[in-house]
Every structure is written in C-alpha cells, then in structure tokens.
Amino acid sequence: MNVRVLTGIKPSGTPHLGNYVGAIRPTVRASRESGIDSYLFLADYHALISTHDPARVQRSTLEIAATWIACGLDPERVTFYRQSDIPEIPELTWLLACVCGKGLLNRAHAYKAAVDKNTAEGRDPDDGVTMGLFMYPVLMAADILMFNAHRVPVGRDQIQHIEMARDLASSFNHLYGPHFTLPEAVIDEQVATLPGLDGRKMSKSYDNVIPLFAPREQLRRLIMGIVTDSRAPGEPKATDGSAVFQLYQAFATAEETAAFARDFAAGIAWSEAKERLFERIDREIAPMRATYDELMAHPARVEAMLRAGAAKARAEATPFMARLRAAVGLRPLDTLATMVTAMGTATSWGTATASTAPAKAAPPVFKQYREADGRFYFKLTDAKGHVLLQSTGFDSPKDAGQAVARLKAEGWAACADLHGAVTAAAEADKIEAALARLR
Ligand code: TYM
C-alpha cells in the first residue's frame, strides 16, 4: 500500500513564504515520489473561523489553489480538492466530536491563547471565542482521518493538532474497531517556524507576512524592511534569532547557509545580507510567478481542477463514511431483522453490532442484552442461531460493547485476555470464521 500524505492550507489571506516553506514545498516534493498518494486541499471551512469576509475567502481560495499548481503540483497525479466540496468531512467531524473529551480541546494552544489573553485583559475567558475556534482541532482531525493519511507535513505550530487527531482516531478505534490510521506529523527539521517581517512567526494574524508571489520589486522592499538589531557594518552579527538568517536558511543549501553564517561572523552589513536574501528567495520563486499570474487571470480553470479533485476525493470518502456510519450504529433499520431474536426473560437494551448485510445473507450476529441480574451480556450466534460465544456479565454496556468491538477487530485468538469473560465457546475455528465474516 502506498504511503498517504495529506495537508491543507486555510484560504484566509494571501499565501506567504511560511506556508510555502512549511507546507507547500515539502508536500509538492513528496507528491512526485513513487509510492506516495498525496491529498492536498484548501481548508475553507477552517478559514471561516478567522475571517468573516466572504470576498476574502473566495479570493484567497483562488490564490492558494493557484499557488499549489504554480509550485508544481500535478492535479492529475494527486487528489487536490476544496474541503467544503466534501460533505463527508463535516459529517465525520460530528462523529469525532462525540468521542472527543471537552478537556482535550480546552488544552488546544490556539484556544488557550485566546483564553489567556482575555483573562490577562480582565475580560470573560471565552470572550470572542467561537465554537468554530474551539472545535478547530476536531475538524482538522476529520480532514486527516477521512483519507486515513499516514503523514501530515505541516509547520511546527500544527504538531498539537496532529497529536489530537491521533487521540481521536484511537478513541474511535477503541470503541468501534480499527477504522482509522494514526497519522504522524512531518516537520522539516531544517526549517522550523519561519519568522515574519517583525521576527515573530510569519502569520496572517500578525500582519507580518511576505506574500509568496509578491512582484519582484515588492519582494525586495519587504525584505529590506525586516527588523534587525542595530549592529553596524563590520560588527559581527549573531545568526541565532536573526530573521534574515532563518529566512535565508529556509531557501539555501547547507553550503550556502554555512557561507552566510561566516559572513555574519565577519560583520556583513544588514543591507547586504538582505540583498543576498532577496536574490536567493527570488531565484526560487521567480520561475513559478508566471504560472501563478496566468491562473489568477483564469479562475474557471482552477474551479474545474477543484471540482475534478472533489469527485476523486468523494469516490473514497462516500463509501468510507458509509462504513463509519454503520460502525457507530447509524444503520438502515431493515437490517434489524437479522439481529432481533427471542431473548427469553432478557431485557433488550440495544441492537446488536452485526454487519449491515441484508437478511438473506444471514451473517453471524452479536447480541448484546441485559439480564434480570442487572448485568450486561453478549453472545455471538451463527446464521442458524447456534451460540458460538456466550459472555459472563459485564458491569456496564460500554464494557460489553468494547469487548465485542475488540473481538470483531482482532479475532478470538488475539483476545486471550477476554477468554475468561466467556462461559461457553464453540470451536475456535468456527468463532474465527464468524468474526472474520463480520469484519
Ligand atoms: P495555515 O493556512 O495556517 O498554514 C498552512 C501551513 O503552513 C504552515 N505555516 C508555517 N510554516 C512555517 N513557518 C510559518 N511561519 C508558517 N505559517 C504557516 C502551517 O504550519 C501549515 O502547515 N490548520 C492548518 C490547515 C489545515 C490542515 C488540515 C493542515 C486544516 N486541516 C489537515 C494539515 C492537515 C493551518 O493552520 O493552515
């Protein structure tokens, strides 16, 4: 199976060098390797959290889509789409929200930063915090888990979000079986977080960005405006903490960077250092500018690419979502015919966790029920109703459900620790065959 690489960018402003270095460039490179399936998208639902300006969202969507293509993305080779064209993503967001502890989201950096700022300024802690901001990590987890991505190339600021996606995937898998791959963040160690004009992280929210496709003269002007210390020409300069140096490093080879560091130690003038930085960045960006400008002048072409990408993405998302819906119990009611059988004096407390196959296929069935002793049981029966497994009583329906989910996911032999919770069992191979069939 190919490695699945997925990443997204919010269309909430003009793409900048930080987006390019942190996400676009590594992802485009990876998308050209063999054995990689890439999923790249415009996170426009996420953009609605930070901007309420419809024209800006639309314009930025075009700019970021054109950027991906200008930076070398081949939409035929990858799956390139707009988040809001995939209705399965918000649907999955809800399923994940239902297994997500509120405490997990309370610890999200962006939410905590908003709360801390409000508190420091004497306002209500949640002043101005929308549910969109609070739920941001859940929507992002849905983006990633929808396509079972293995790797997610992002800037350092996003690591916590990927960890949360892993947490949500584990919680869901634990409850409903192994549906999701646990994703990993991929960070370009050399780059870390790219600083902006004022030395803080380059970010639309700090208004300190260098637009990726700024015309050449504007690019030079912006670079000349980067904040530095006041050391004069001839005075040695520290590379640590220098935005000029960090930006250079993100574009240059190791040898070029080492030479630049030597020039810092030898007291290069800031104006010359900035000129070198400008030339180095422009050398990489200039060849892509023409494609960008061409696409910006023809939005219909970009729209057609995104629609084709959405169709490709939904060909996977729609059947996967159907499987997830069935897993959580959002199932057609006619499948109940295969599950409900007489239970004597038992009190039925829920439907079985059987597959959603039609009745005529007569699959094996797990039945979960509550006995008069108040405890929760399950049994596995074959197509003819013969009992293959009968459990002892569990304290809660959740415990019984988790045992069933594990048996379904892992098989009988792999769940040796559950054998003690079973009072009757048919031959192991019959049980394994039934469980395999349910899977
Ligand atoms: P966004 O649009 O804020 O940033 C897009 C990507 O650019 C990286 N980045 C940076 N990298 C280095 N230095 C910087 N100064 C800098 N600024 C931004 C970000 O780390 C990010 O990788 N939440 C995401 C969008 C998203 C997403 C996803 C990403 C939504 N769903 C699923 C991956 C997987 C974001 O902040 O985008």
Q: Judge if 19 and 38 occupy the same domain.
A: yes
Q: Are 100 and 245 in contact (CB under 8 A)?
A: no
Q: Judge if 176 and 304 occupy the same domain.
A: yes
For the segment 332-342, what is each residue's pLDDT rounded down to a tens digit? 998 776 555 44
203 backbone dihedrals φ, ψ, rounded to 5° = -155, 140
Q: Judge if 61 and 146 occupy the same domain.
A: yes
Q: What's the pLDDT at 155?
A: 82
Q: Are 258 and 206 in contact (CB under 8 A)?
A: no
Q: What does DSSP assign to residue 335?
A: G
Residue 301 vs residues 39, 177, 256, 364: alpha-carbon distances, Å: 20, 42, 38, 51
**Is the C-beta atom of 153 inside 6 A of ligand 1?**
no
Distance CA 78, CA 241 (A): 37
Q: Judge if 43 and 87 occupy the same domain.
A: yes
**Is the C-beta atom of 19 inside 6 A of ligand 1?**
yes
pTM of the model: 0.76
Q: Judge if 99 and 24 occupy the same domain.
A: yes
Tokens, residue 322: 């159907």
Taking Cα atoms as reference points, which of 111, 98, 174, 176 lies closest to residue 141? Answer: 98
Instruction: Write the CATH number for 241.
Output: 1.10.240.10
The answer to whether residue 356 sits within a structural domain is: no
Q: What's the pLDDT at 361?
A: 60
25 backbone dihedrals φ, ψ, rounded to 5° = -60, -50
Instruction: Write the CATH number for 67.
Output: 3.40.50.620
**Is the C-beta atom of 43 inside 6 A of ligand 1?**
yes
**Is the C-beta atom of 247 inside 6 A of ligand 1?**
no
The answer to whether residue 338 sits within a structural domain is: no
Q: Judge if 307 and 180 occupy the same domain.
A: yes
Q: What's the pLDDT at 174?
A: 96
Q: What's the pLDDT at 425?
A: 85
User: What is the count of structural domains for the chain?
Assistant: 3
Q: Count H helices and E strands in the chain, helices first.
A: 16, 9
Q: Judge if 48 and 179 occupy the same domain.
A: yes
Q: Which residue from 4, 5, 6, 9 has its CB within 8 A of the most atoms of ligand 1, so it is best to mutate?
A: 9
The answer to whether residue 244 sits within a structural domain is: yes
Distance CA 425, CA 381 (A): 10
Q: Judge if 239 and 178 occupy the same domain.
A: no
The answer to whether residue 186 sits within a structural domain is: yes
Distance CA 107, CA 116 (A): 12
**Is the C-beta atom of 209 inside 6 A of ligand 1?**
no
Taking Cα atoms as reference points, which of 376, 374, 375, 378 lies closest to residue 365? Answer: 378
- Of ligand 1's listed atoms, the one at least distance from the Cα of 158 is 20
Low-confidence ranges of the chain (pLDDT < 70): 190-192, 337-361
Q: Judge if 119 and 7 occupy the same domain.
A: yes
Taking Cα atoms as reference points, which of 158, 187, 182 lies closest to residue 170? Answer: 182
- For ligand 1, atom 5, the nearest C-alpha belongs to 9
394 backbone dihedrals φ, ψ, rounded to 5° = -105, 155
Residue 34 vs residues 30, 80, 188: alpha-carbon distances, Å: 9, 17, 20
Q: Are 347 and 370 in contact (CB under 8 A)?
A: yes
For the segment 135-194, what is each residue's pLDDT rounded down to a tens digit? 999 999 999 999 999 999 888 889 999 999 999 999 999 999 999 999 999 987 766 689
Q: Judge if 291 and 302 occupy the same domain.
A: no
Q: Judge if 283 and 379 occupy the same domain.
A: no
What is the number of alpha carbons within 13 Å of residue 311 lying toward its C-beta? 7
- Of ligand 1's listed atoms, the one at least distance from the Cα of 153 is 22
Tell whether residue 183 is among the known ligand binding residues.
no
Tell whether residue 212 is among the known ligand binding residues.
no
Other Cβ atoms closer than 10 A to 312: 17
- For ligand 1, atom 31, the nearest C-alpha belongs to 140
Q: What's the pLDDT at 343?
A: 44
Instruction: Write the CATH number for 408.
Output: 3.30.160.160
The answer to whether residue 151 sits within a structural domain is: yes
The answer to whether residue 205 sits within a structural domain is: no
What is the number of alpha carbons within 13 Å of residue 423 lying toward its C-beta? 8
Domain containing 277 equals 213-295
Tell me if residue 143 falls in helix, strand or coil. Answer: helix
The answer to whether residue 187 sits within a structural domain is: yes
Q: Are 143 and 83 in contact (CB under 8 A)?
A: yes
* Beta carbons within 8 Å of 304's beta carbon, 6+ residues apart: none
**Is the C-beta atom of 44 inside 6 A of ligand 1?**
no
Distance CA 196, CA 213 (A): 15
The answer to whether residue 310 sits within a structural domain is: yes
Q: Which residue has the tokens 């991505």?
A: 149
Q: Judge if 10 and 134 occupy the same domain.
A: yes
What does 30-69 look like in DSSP terms, one character per residue? HHTSTTEEEEEEE-HHHHHHH---HHHHHHHHHHHHHHHH
